[in-house]
Structure 1
Amino acid sequence: MTASPCASPVPFRQPSVSGLSQITSSLYISSGVAANNRLMLSSNRISTVINVSVEVVSALYGDIHYVQVPVADTPTSRLCDFFDPIADHIHSVEMKQGRTLLHCAAGVSRSAALCLAYLMKYHAMSLLDAHTWTKSCRPIIRPNNGFWEQLIHYEFQLFGRNTVRMVSSPVGMIPDIYEKEENQVTPFIRARKKEGCCKFLILSFTSLKSQLTTCKMVKISFLPRE
């Protein structure tokens, strides 16, 4: 495994979900809400904010440079068109001693995918290592499967080999790093669906029984008196 992308230990190394998650000495990831929090931006000395969404409106603070990447979080969105330019921009900010915050709506899919692309290009990390590192900093990351396909292609472009591949699963094609997780979750989902079906049948039977009882009572109430 390659070395961590930070030249020196990162002071803010505890995984953060609600706030800003520090990935390298000059790169952070967050949700859209956190990205508009003035205190969080200033306390982490953020100089550039990259908004990777179409739904989050940036606060546009005067002393911060903003970049918009208008991409929806769908498997068919071409986030790969921004892999190189955004990685280059993050690197440029770092060279000027600045700090970049990369965010989307939740800080889970789009911003995480661009972060992985940056780590591959400028820190020579494999896609697998980049994901392992980023997930250790922000445990909730999970780019959608379409972005994973684009990242796998990008890794091959950069290094001529792949460390992650797409595999078939009960929910469709997924990255092999999620295969074990899906195999553990799928039986639970199936059990819940089966349980839901049983509950529906029981409720339906109870409802039908109730209706039949009501009909019987109505029929009895209208019997002619002797």
Structure 2
Amino acid sequence: MTTIPLLLPSQAVGQPTIYELSKITGSLYISNAVTASNQCILSYYNITTVINASVEVENTFFEDIQYVYVPVSDTPTSYIYDFFDPIADRIHSVEMKQGRTLLHCAAGVSRSPALCLAYLMKYHSMTLLEAHTWTKACRPIIRPNNGFWEQLINYEFKLFSNNTIYMVNSPVGMIPNIYENEVNLMMSM
């Protein structure tokens, strides 16, 4: 087996390297499509299930790994809500069998983090704000698109009858309130 230089999340500075997985829980990782197609990395992290949340990336199938396909485009009009429960359930099921899940999309920025946030709300009883704060600390490049945010906000309300994040009007359109300061700063430059 070839050894590849890996930066572990705790060693990373700034954005993840092309071969880096971001560890979210003891059994859940997020990455981009390039990483998800690297058998050495999947083996190194003992990944047993790969969830591909994209339409443009084909799975690279490896023996002893189960694959789940979530055909969603990264556009604000794409409907991801119907995948929140089944994907969260699948991640939880893999964890209960002592397996590990790699959740990926093309870049590991929008679709896979949106599914991760839903999982953390459902199975770790985190609010959407807590789930986002946690996931962003583990993978700083996450940024679900605004359509996914709206669906996550609806999902949080379904789970908890309360919202910790909401959409607000801004100079660049509707955005999650957690991005208000960033947009205001950008607009003042």
Is TM-score (shorter-chain normalized) higher than 0.5?
yes
What residue in structure 1 maps to residue 121 of structure 2? 120
| Alpha-carbon distance, 1:187 to partner | 3.0
Task: Report if the CA contact (8 A) 2:9-2:21 is conserved.
Answer: no
What residue in structure 1 maps to residue 34 of structure 2? 33
What residue in structure 2 maps to residue 22 of structure 1? 23
State TM-score, norm by structure 1.
0.76
| Alpha-carbon distance, 1:174 to partner | 0.2
Q: Which amino acid aligns with 1:81?
A: D
Q: SS state of the match for residue 173, structure 1?
A: strand
**Distance of 2:144 and 2:164 partners within structure 1:** 16
State TM-score, norm by structure 2.
0.91
Q: SS state of the match for residue 84, structure 1?
A: helix
CA-to-partner distance for each residue in 1:174-202, whole Å, 9 max, x for gaps?
Answer: 000000011111233xxxxxxxxxxxxxx
**Distance of 1:57 and 1:128 partners within structure 2:** 32
Q: Which amino acid aligns with 1:60?
A: F
**Distance of 1:33 and 1:79 partners within structure 2:** 22
Structure 2: stretches of 5+ with no match in the other structure: 1-7
What residue in structure 2 maps to residue 72 of structure 1? 73
Structure 1: stretches of 5+ with no match in the other structure: 1-11, 189-226
CA-to-partner distance for each residue in 1:80-101, whole Å, 9 max, x for gaps?
Answer: 0100000000000000000000
What residue in structure 2 maps to residue 109 of structure 1? 110
Q: SS state of the match for residue 77, structure 2?
A: coil
**Distance of 2:112 and 2:187 partners within structure 1:** 27
**Distance of 2:116 and 2:100 partners within structure 1:** 14
Q: How many equivalent pairs are there?
A: 177
Task: Report if the CA contact (8 A) 2:36-2:42 is conserved.
Answer: yes
Task: Report if the CA contact (8 A) 2:146-2:176 is conserved.
Answer: yes
| Alpha-carbon distance, 1:57 to partner | 1.3
| Alpha-carbon distance, 1:39 to partner | 1.3
**Distance of 2:97 and 2:9 partners within structure 1:** 23
| Alpha-carbon distance, 1:40 to partner | 1.0
5 Å matches for 1:199-214? none
| Alpha-carbon distance, 1:13 to partner | 5.1
User: Is residue 61 from structure 1 mapped to residue 62 from structure 2 by the alignment?
Assistant: yes
Task: Report if the CA contact (8 A) 2:30-2:113 is conserved.
Answer: yes
What residue in structure 1 maps to residue 3 of structure 2? none
- Tell me the percent identity: 69
What residue in structure 2 maps to residue 178 of structure 1? 179
Task: Report if the CA contact (8 A) 2:29-2:101 is conserved.
Answer: yes
Larger Rg: 1
**Distance of 1:187 and 1:111 partners within structure 2:** 32
**Distance of 1:22 and 1:159 partners within structure 2:** 26
**Distance of 2:38 and 2:183 partners within structure 1:** 35
What residue in structure 2 maps to residue 169 of structure 1? 170
Q: SS state of the match for residue 68, structure 2?
A: strand
Moved over 6 A (4+): none
| Alpha-carbon distance, 1:47 to partner | 0.3
- Cα RMSD (Å) of the superposition? 1.1
Q: Which amino acid aligns with 1:148?
A: W
